[in-house]
């Protein structure tokens, strides 16, 4: 089902826009650091809202299967890092959340 959902999203091919974002695990994640790795970036508007919480829980359910494919998973929102840490802890997320305060990366990815 995730592959079908990805196709429905109208994903574009070509180089991904560069980024450097702080994460919920106190690291900075950059596109250049992911070179050569399959990467799933899930953009969501705001932590702790009903829709985004459901999406996070669904992504967590799929996380083990995605990681079996040697892919990295990141959730991206405009929330500050401290809120992302709380959200990650509250829902026991096994993947980092990235803070895109200002939404520049989301805009670059047309999300």
Q: Does residue 54 have an active-site annotation?
A: no
Alpha-carbon span 37 to 88, nearest angstrom: 23
4 closest CA partner among 51, 44, 62, 60: 62
d(CA 91, CA 94): 9
The answer to whether 75 touches 44, Cβ cutoff 8 Å, is yes
Residue 62, both tokens: 């799929």
Out of 52, 73, 84, 106, pick the active-site residue: 52
Active site amino acids: 52
């Amino acid at each position: 089902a995730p592959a079908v959902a990805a196709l429905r999203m109208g994903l574009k091919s070509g180089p991904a826009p560069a980024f450097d974002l702080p994460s919920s695990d106190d690291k900075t994640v950059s596109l250049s650091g992911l070179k050569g790795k399959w990467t799933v970036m899930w953009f969501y508007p705001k932590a702790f809202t009903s829709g985004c919480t459901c999406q996070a829980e669904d992504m967590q359910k799929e996380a083990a299967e995605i990681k079996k494919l040697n892919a990295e998973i990141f959730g991206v929102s405009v929330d500050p890092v401290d809120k992302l840490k709380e959200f990650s802890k509250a829902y026991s997320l096994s993947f980092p959340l990235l803070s895109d305060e200002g939404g520049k990366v989301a805009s670059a990815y047309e999300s």
